[in-house]
Chains A and B, each alone.
Chain A
Amino acid sequence: MKRRSFVQYAGLGAGALMMPSLMLGNEIPTEALLEPGMDVVLKKKMADVALNTAKSLGATYADARIGRYLNQYVFTREDKVQNVVNTESFGIGIRVIANGTWGFASTNDVTEDGIKNATQQAVAIAKANARIQKEPVVLAPVEAYGEVSWKTPIQKDFKEVPISEKVDLLLSANAAAIDNGANFVNSALFMVNEQKYFASTDGSYIDQDVHRIWPTFNVTAIDRAAGKFKTRQAMSAPMGMGYEYMDGLASEKLEGPEGIKLYRKSYDIVEDATMAAIQAKQKLTAKSVEAGKYDLVLEPNHLGLTIHESVGHPLELDRVLGYEANYAGTSFATLDKWETKKFNYGSDIVNIVADKTQEGSLGAVGYDDEGVKTKKWDLIRNGILVNYEAIRDQVHMIGQNESHGCCYAQSWEDVQFQRMPNVSLEPGTEKYSLQDMIKDVEKGIYILGRGSYSIDQQRYNFQFGGTMFYEIKNGEVVGMLEDVAYQSNTQEFWNSCAKICDKDDYRLFGSFFDGKGQPSQISAVSHGSSTTRFNGINVINTGRTI
Chain B
Amino acid sequence: MAIYTEEEAKKILEKALSFSKADACEINLSGSNRGNIRYARNTVSTAGYQSTQSLVVQASYGKKVGTATIDEFDDASLEKVVGRAEELAKLAPENPEFMPPLGPQQYDASITYKEATAKVTPEYRAEVASKSIVPAAAKDVTAAGFLNDGESFSAMINSNGLFAYNKSTNVDFTVTMRTNDGTGSGWVTRDFNDINKFDAAEASNVAINKAVMSREARAIEPGKYTVILEPAAASDLLRNMIFSFNARSADEGRSFMSAPDGGNKLGQKIVDERVNLWSDPLHPDVPTSTWNGEGMPLKKTHWIENGVVKNLAYDRYWAGQKGVDPVPFPSNGIMEGGDESLEDMIAGTKKGILVTRFWYIRSVDPQTLLYTGLTRDGTFYIENGQIKYPIKNFRFNESPIIMLNNLESLGQQVRVDGNLIPYMKIRDFTFTSLSDAV
With A82-B95, A461-B436, A542-B370 as known contacts, state yes or no: A132 contacts B47, CB within 8 Å. Answer: no
Given contacts A14-B243, A80-B95, is CB(A104)–CB(B434) below 8 Å?
A: no
The reply to whether B243 and A125 form a contact with Cβ atoms under 8 Å apart is no
Is B397 in the interface zone, CB < 8 Å from A? yes
- Expressed in whole angstroms, the Cα–Cα distance for A255 and B69 within the complex equals 45
Is B373 interfacial (CB 8 A cutoff)?
yes
Cβ B395 vs Cβ A461 within 8 A: yes
Minimal Cβ-Cβ distance residue in B for A171: B93
- Interface size on B (CB < 8 Å)? 93
Q: Does A84 contact B (CB under 8 A)?
A: yes
| Residues in A neighbouring B41, C-beta threshold 8 A | 134-135, 321-323
CB contact list, B1-58 vs A, under 8 A: 36-50, 52, 54, 56
Contact A454–B360 (Cβ < 8 Å): yes
Is the Cβ of A227 less than 8 Å from the Cβ of B122? no
Given A454-B395, A518-B148, check contact A461 B374 (CB 8 Å): yes
Check: B67 CB closer than 8 A to any chain A CB.
yes
Does B323 touch A at the CB level, under 8 Å?
no
With A135-B41, A229-B258, A452-B362 known as contacts, the answer to whether A80 contacts B97 (CB < 8 A) is yes
Interface residues of A in 72-96 (CB under 8 A from B): 80-85, 87
Knowing A224-B262, A461-B435 touch, does A14 contact B395 (C-beta < 8 A)? no
Which of A26-34, A203-211, A265-273 sits within the interface?
A: A26-34
Do B435 and A220 touch (CB < 8 A)? no
Interface positions of A from 111 to 155, Cβ below 8 Å from B: 121, 124-125, 128-129, 131-135
Contact-residue bracket for chain A: 35 or more
Q: A14-B243, A80-B95 are in contact. Are A125 and B47 (CB under 8 A)?
A: yes
B262-A465 in contact (CB<8A): no
A190 within 8 A of B: no
Q: Which of B52, B130, B178, B374 contacts A132 (CB 8 A)?
A: B130
Known contacts A26-B69, A415-B48; A227 and B146 CB within 8 A of each other: no
Q: Is B368 an interface residue (CB 8 A)?
A: yes
Q: How far is the CA of A183 from the CA of B393 in the complex (A)?
A: 41
Docked-complex contact B253 and A222, CB < 8 angstroms = yes
Q: Give which listed residue, A30, A131, A455, A458, contacts B126 with CB less than 8 A.
A: A131
Q: Which residues of chain A are within 8 angstroms of B308 by Cβ–Cβ distance? A: none
Q: Mark A254-293, 1 if CB is under 8 A from B, else 0.
A: 0000000000000000000000000000000000000000
A461–B43 touching, CB < 8 Å:
no
Kindly state whether residue B364 has any CB partner on chain A within 8 Å. Answer: yes
CA A83 – CA B96 in complex, angstroms? 11
User: In the complex, A106 Cα to B46 Cα: how many Å?
Assistant: 14
- Residue-wise interface mask of B (338-361) relative to A, using a CB-CB cutoff of 8 A (1 in contact, 0 not): 000000000000000000000111
Task: Give 5 nearest A-B pairs by CB, closest first.
Answer: A461-B435, A325-B144, A458-B437, A456-B437, A326-B144
What are 14 inter-chain pairs, A to B, with CB distance below 8 A? Answer: A14-B243, A26-B54, A103-B47, A104-B47, A167-B93, A184-B252, A220-B254, A225-B260, A228-B367, A325-B40, A326-B175, A329-B359, A332-B437, A463-B395
Residues of A within 8 A of B (CB): 1, 4-5, 8, 13-15, 25-30, 80-85, 87, 101-106, 108, 121, 124-125, 128-129, 131-135, 167, 183-184, 220, 222, 224-229, 231, 321-327, 329-330, 332, 413, 415, 417, 452-461, 463, 465, 483, 485, 487, 489, 518-519, 538, 540, 542-546
B-side residues, CB < 8 A to A, are 36-50, 52, 54, 56, 67-71, 84, 87-88, 91-93, 95-97, 122-123, 126, 129-130, 133, 142, 144-146, 148, 174-176, 178, 187, 243-244, 246, 249, 252-256, 258, 260, 262, 293, 329, 331, 359-370, 372-374, 376, 393, 395, 397, 399, 401-402, 418, 432-438
